[in-house]
């Protein structure tokens, strides 16, 4: 294993040496990512973050000054992700869809779409059993668990959305479940995840049964990070609900969240709270809890977001649910906070979900993981599939000049 420069050692110890050794080899020499360019994990203490949020607030006074800052932040995200390395591709999704199952008010199918030549997004498509001509759509990324897309909580969330009338796409985090073309801790994981979300969005919008004016997105933990990043850079997301992740002091503990320089440029410092606030004036729901880095959301993060929404006279479109006695998950109480929020803002009939002292998810049939796999003996991966971190990175131009 090659020796890294000293500027990279603290970060490499936190994230693991291999991904950043690869980055040193494969990124153009003038674009090497160093520790000073990144804000990793618990980058600030809560005390420091409190002061930083006051500093950020002093940098704008009205809607115009906020929008100038927001545009600078957006440019910083795209530059930090090396967005210009991605191919200029429109459509050409080449969807693989099979194993249609009609459930109680919803339908489940296995799906893969082409992200870019040689790389595929794997997931499941949940649709209403009795769809309208045009239906809302919801993107459902997930957090850090090896087979999270296949778990009961993701299946329940997506099935409820579909029974309410939304075309819902649950898709794998890079390197997890069936997304095995690369490892999760590859140097450009943040870029690939954001690009994959963009392609899922564009696929949904391309469907004749989807209303492009009603697009929601929600995920927990690392899925929350994917939610607020895509919402910040793409206004086609019209409603969003990042769950247990928006924090003033915690920037994400994985290379897929804070391993690329999206939070800091030579002239601007920001954090995930401002990423979330960039949803304004579109409807936004923050869900937080008492046992992780979101415990201060009622006092620090949400007031800042609400002040941004006030610039648009849209305070009623920013909501917050805090569960002080709960921990870091997207469990039942978090899901039932999101259901009526999305129903209201996406025009979905929440009364289509059984209700008795709370929303009843018992109509959902939780399928075994193998039933949700896209690629199998009968549905092999496409012949052009790229395999390995290096192959994918080189295909996108991440190498020495």
**Residue 30 — very low, low, confident or very high, per pLDDT cuts 50/70/90?**
very low
Q: Quick one: how many helices (H) and strands (E) in the chain?
A: 12, 9
- pLDDT tens sequence across 131-190: 999 999 999 999 999 999 999 999 999 999 999 999 999 999 999 999 999 999 999 999
Contact (CB, 8 A) for 240 and 231: yes
**Residue 35 — very low, low, confident or very high, per pLDDT cuts 50/70/90?**
confident
Q: Would the pLDDT of 7 be above 70? A: no
User: Given this model, what pLDDT does residue 399 score?
Assistant: 67
How far apart are the C-alpha atoms of 186 and 256, rounded to whole Å?
Answer: 8
Residues 240-255 as b/e (b if ≥16 CB within 10 A, e otherwise) read bbbbbbbbbbbbbbbb
**Residue 27 — very low, low, confident or very high, per pLDDT cuts 50/70/90?**
low
Q: Would the pLDDT of 328 be above 80? A: yes
Rg, the chain, Cα only: 20
User: Given this model, what pLDDT does residue 401 score?
Assistant: 37
Q: List, in sequence order, the alpha helices (H) in 81-221.
A: 152-164, 189-206
Bridge-based pairing of strands 210-220 and 135-140 is parallel
How far apart are the C-alpha atoms of 105 and 163, rounded to whole Å?
Answer: 5
User: Domain-by-domain residue ranges, the chain?
Assistant: 96-372
Which pair of structure tokens corresponds to residue 331? 């469990």
How far apart are the C-alpha atoms of 173 and 179, rounded to whole Å?
Answer: 7
Q: Would the pLDDT of 20 be above 90? A: no
Structurally, at CATH architecture level, domain 96-372 sits in 3-Layer(aba) Sandwich (3.40)
How far apart are the C-alpha atoms of 161 and 342, rounded to whole Å?
Answer: 9
């Amino acid at each position: 294993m090659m020796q890294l420069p000293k500027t990279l050692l603290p970060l490499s110890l936190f994230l693991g040496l291999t991904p950043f050794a690869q980055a040193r080899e494969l990124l153009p020499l003038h674009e090497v990512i160093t520790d000073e360019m990144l804000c990793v994990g618990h980058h600030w203490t809560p005390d420091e973050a409190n002061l930083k949020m006051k500093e950020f607030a002093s940098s704008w006074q009205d809607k115009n000054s906020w929008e100038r800052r927001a545009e600078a932040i957006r440019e910083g995200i795209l530059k930090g992700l090396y967005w210009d390395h991605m191919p200029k591709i429109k459509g050409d999704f080449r969807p693989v869809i099979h194993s249609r199952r009609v459930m109680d008010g919803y339908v489940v199918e296995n799906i893969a779409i082409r992200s870019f030549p040689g790389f595929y997004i794997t997931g499941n498509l949940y649709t209403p059993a009795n769809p309208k001509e045009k239906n809302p759509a919801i993107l459902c990324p997930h957090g850090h668990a090896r087979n999270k897309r296949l778990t009961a909580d993701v299946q329940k969330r997506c099935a409820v959305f579909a029974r309410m009338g939304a075309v819902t796409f649950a898709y794998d985090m890079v390197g997890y479940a069936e997304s095995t073309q690369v490892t999760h801790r590859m140097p450009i994981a943040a870029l690939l995840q954001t690009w994959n979300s963009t392609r899922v969005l564009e696929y949904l919008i391309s469907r004749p049964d989807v209303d492009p004016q009603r697009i929601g997105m929600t995920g927990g933990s690392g899925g929350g990070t994917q939610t607020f990043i895509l919402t910040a850079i793409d206004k086609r997301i019209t409603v969003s609900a990042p769950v247990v992740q928006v924090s003033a002091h915690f920037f994400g503990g994985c290379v897929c969240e804070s391993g690329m320089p999206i939070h800091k440029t030579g002239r601007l410092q920001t954090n995930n709270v401002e990423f979330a606030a960039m949803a304004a004036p579109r409807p936004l729901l923050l869900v937080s809890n008492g046992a992780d880095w979101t415990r201060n959301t009622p006092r620090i993060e949400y007031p800042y977001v609400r002040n941004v929404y006030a610039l648009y006279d849209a305070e009623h479109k920013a909501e917050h649910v805090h569960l002080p006695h709960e921990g870091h998950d997207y469990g039942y109480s978090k899901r039932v906070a999101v259901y009526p929020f999305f129903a209201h803002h996406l025009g979905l009939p929440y009364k289509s979900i059984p209700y008795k002292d709370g929303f009843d998810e018992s109509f959902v049939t939780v399928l075994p993981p193998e039933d949700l796999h896209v690629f199998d003996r009968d549905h092999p991966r496409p012949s052009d599939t790229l395999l390995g971190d290096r192959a994918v990175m080189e295909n996108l131009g991440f190498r020495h000049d």
